[in-house]
Amino acid sequence: MRLQSQLSVVLGLLLSAAVQVGALATSEWRKQSIYQVVTDRFARSDLSTSAPCDPSQQVYCGGSWRGLISKLDYIQGMGFTALWISPIVKQIDGVTKDGSSYHGYWASDIWSLNPSFGTTDDLKTLSKALHDRGMYLIVDVVTNHMAYLGCRSCVNYQGLNPFSSQSYYHSPCTINYDNQTSVETGDVRKIWNDWVSKIVSTYSIDGLRIDSVKHVEKSFWPGFESAAGVYAIGEVFQGDPTYLAPYQSYISGLLDYASYYWTVNAFQSTSGSISALANGINTLKATAMDLSLYGSFLENHDQARFAHKTSDMALAKNAIAFTMLKDGIPIIYQGQEQHYAGSDTPYNREALWLSGYSTDSDLYTWIKRLNQLRTHAISKDNSYLSYRAYPIYSDSHTIAMRKGSSGKQVVGVFTNVGASSSTTVTLSSSASGFSANQQITDIVSCDSFTTDSGGSITVTLSGGLPRILYPTAVLSGSEICSSPSTPTSTASTASGAATSTWSSASSSCTATAVPITFNALVSTSYGETVKLTGNTAALGSWNTANAVPLSASKYTSSNPLWYASVNLAPGSVVLYKFIKVSSSGTVSWESDPNRTYTVPCAAATVSSTWRR
**Which H, E and C letters describe 502-559, residue by residue?**
CCHHHHHCCCCCEEEEEEEECCCCCCCEEEEEECCHHHCCCCHHHCEECECCCCCCCC
pLDDT of the residue at 504: 27
Residue 524 burial (10 A CB sphere; 0-12, 13-18, 19+): middle
- State pLDDT tens for residues 24-64: 899 999 999 999 999 999 999 999 999 999 999 999 999 99
Query: In angstroms, how far is the first alpha carbon of the chain from the final one?
Result: 74
Q: Which range has the worst mean pLDDT, 28-32, 258-262, 398-402, 501-505?
A: 501-505
Cα–Cα distance measured from residue 284 to residue 291, given in angstroms and rounded to the nearest whole number: 8
Q: Say if residues 402 and 389 touch (Cβ distance below 8 Å).
A: yes
Catalytic residue among 109, 140, 235, 256: 235
How far apart, in whole angstroms, are the C-alpha atoms of residue 333 and residue 214?
22
In angstroms, rounded to a whole number, what is the distance separating the alpha carbons of residues 145 and 105?
Answer: 9
Lowest mean pLDDT among 54-58, 218-222, 490-494, 528-532: 490-494
Q: Inform me whether the pLDDT recorded for 97 exceeds 80.
A: yes
Q: How confident is the model at residue 196 (pLDDT cuts 50, 70, 90)?
A: very high
Query: Rounded to whole angstroms, how far apart are CA atoms 215 and 343?
Result: 25
What is the pTM assigned to this prediction?
A: 0.78
Tens-place pLDDT, residues 230-244: 999 999 999 999 999
Of all residues in the chain, the percent with pLDDT exceeding 70 is 90
pLDDT digits (tens, 9 = 90+) for 283-306: 999 999 999 999 999 999 999 999
Which positions ≥6 away from 307 have C-beta within 8 Å? 316, 339, 340, 341
Q: How far is CA 580 from CA 63, 87, 355, 592, in A?
A: 66, 67, 54, 15
168 or 277: which leads in pLDDT: 277
- Measured CA to CA, the distance from residue 179 to residue 509 in angstroms comes to 65
- Residue 598: its pLDDT value, please? 77
d(CA 220, CA 384): 33
Residue-level pLDDT at 167: 86
Q: Model confidence at 175, in pLDDT bands (50, 70, 90)?
A: low
Beta partners for 587?
581
Q: Where are the alpha helices (DSSP H) in 381-449?
A: 429-432
Strand 561-568 with 514-521, pairing: antiparallel
C-beta of residue 207 within 8 angstroms of C-beta of residue 173 = no
Could you tell me the CA-to-CA distances from 589 to 258, 406, 530, 559 in Å, in that order?
52, 36, 10, 21
**DSSP secondary structure string, 16-72?**
--SSPPPPPPGGGGGG--EEE--HHHH-BTT--SS----GGG-S---B-HHHHHHTH
| Closest by CA position to 231, among listed 393, 30, 38 | 30
* CB burial of residue 158 (10 Å; 0-12, 13-18, 19+): exposed
Residue 73 a catalytic site member: no
Banded pLDDT at 602 (limits 50, 70, 90): confident
Question: Predicted confidence band at 178 (pLDDT cuts at 50, 70, 90)?
Answer: low
Per cent of the chain over pLDDT 90 is 72
Q: How many CA atoms lie within 13 A of 212 on its CB side?
A: 27
Q: Inform me whether the pLDDT recorded for 75 exceeds 90.
A: yes
Give residue 557's pLDDT band: very low, low, confident or very high (50, 70, 90). Answer: confident
Q: Which phi and psi angles does 24 have, rounded to 5°?
A: -75, 125
Amino acid identity for residue 596 in this structure = T
> For residues 603 and 515, what is the distance between their CA atoms, to the nearest angstrom?
5
CA atoms within 13 A on the CB side of 291: 26
Position with higher pLDDT, 493 vs 146: 146
| The pLDDT of residue 542 | 92
Pick the catalytic residue: 211, 225, 327, 337?
Answer: 211
In order, the DSSP letters of 340-371 are: ----STTTT---GGGGTT-SSSHHHHHHHHHH
Beta bridge partners of 107: 91
Tell how far CA 31 is from the center of its chain. Answer: 14
Task: For the chain, give the mean pLDDT.
Answer: 88
Mean pLDDT along residues 262-266 = 98
pLDDT, tens only, 570-601: 878 888 999 999 989 999 999 887 887 778 77
Using one digit for the tens of pLDDT, what is the confidence trace for 122-132?
Answer: 998 998 899 99
Confidence label for 22 from pLDDT (cuts 50, 70 and 90): low
**pLDDT tens profile 463-485:** 999 999 999 999 988 889 873 22
Shortest CA distance to 295 belongs to which of 323, 325, 254? 254
| C-beta of residue 220 within 8 angstroms of C-beta of residue 189 | yes
Give the DSSP letter of residue 7.
B
Q: Is 211 a catalytic residue?
A: yes
Residue pLDDT, tens place only, 330-374: 999 999 999 999 999 999 999 999 999 999 999 999 999 999 999
